[in-house]
Amino acid sequence: MKSFAYECIKSTLSDKGVRTIALNRPDSLNAMNWQLIEDVSAAFNDANADPDTLVIIFTGEGRAFCAGDDRHQHVHPENEAQARSLVDAIQRATEAITFGAKPVVGAINGWAVGGGFEWAINCDFPIWGESAKAFFPEVSLNLFVTGGVTSLLPALVGLNKAREMLMLGERYNADELLKAGVAWRVSADDQLLTDANKVAEKLALLPSLSLHAMKRVLNQTASTDVNTAISLEREATISGFMDPETTKLLKLFS
């Protein structure tokens, strides 16, 4: 098992070509700070460029996949330049996961909130633990989603369900996400990584040329224009960050 060094994630490569990228801030439920976001981009870019990596598993250490933004580390930007830099970093992570050549098997454990929910949706084969839950709080906080989900989510669940999930911010369990089409499979919590590895190893045996082409074409054509969605999300999120009302709502959010 080969390990790769990052500050906020663990990245290991098995002898079968399966790279596991695990968010590694368990004391904060893997909440997103700037370093975590940058590490995700770097780890996925490194994995996609590594000829020994055939498939990627994406998961979280501890009790959660990712609990959204870290409110305790002042992720909220103070000016437009900071906002643009932060959102660009988030969308670079999106592009590395979604447009990278290597298939991504999600092993989604515990909470997946906001940006964490987006990363779960970015996975090609999202397997959710039976106790996992997810929701989007962004609209209630005067913010906007990223991750290309304004294109990817309607393609998965239909426009009406996407409106419900993104605007109303309802909380969903794993079975509800499976029924809606967000989860590909649901596994027992103690079997989640085992099941993810089985799928990843099966994918790793396929011819890489056709497999990588299939991921690329599906992600570019099965939804509406993901690149346009990412660009529009960027501007809407920056506007939300700059509105004073957002700061008030974030202080009340728990």
What's the pLDDT at 243?
A: 83
What's the pLDDT at 1?
A: 84
Q: Mark the ranges of the chain whose per-residue pLDDT is less than 70.
A: 73-76, 247, 252-254
What's the pLDDT at 76?
A: 65
**Burial classification of residue 184, based on how many CB atoms lie within 10 Å of its CB (0-12 exposed, 13-18 middle, 19 or more buried):** middle
What's the pLDDT at 159?
A: 96
Nearest to 183 by CA among 236, 127, 226, 135: 127
Q: What are the domain boundaries of the chain?
A: 2-191+206-252
- 3-class DSSP assignment, residue 60: strand
What residues are annotated to the active site? 118, 138
What's the pLDDT at 174?
A: 98
What's the pLDDT at 60?
A: 98
- Only one residue has tokens 């999120």, namely 237
CB 79 within 8 A of CB 125: no
What's the pLDDT at 254?
A: 53
Per-residue b or e along 219-229, where b marks 16 or more CB atoms closer than 10 Å to that residue's CB: beeebeebeeb
- Alpha-carbon distance 71 to 185, whole Å? 31
Hey, what are 229's tokens?
Answer: 């969605």
- Could you give the C-alpha distances from 245 to 21, 82, 106, in angstroms and in order? 36, 18, 35
pTM, to two decimals: 0.93
What's the pLDDT at 226?
A: 85
Hey, what are 166's tokens?
Answer: 């993104």
What's the pLDDT at 73?
A: 62
Give the strand pairing for 111-113 and 133-135. Answer: parallel
Q: CATH second-level architecture of 2-191+206-252?
A: Alpha-Beta Complex (3.90)
What's the pLDDT at 83?
A: 85
The backbone torsions φ and ψ at residue 181, rounded to the nearest 5 degrees and listed phi first, read 105, 5
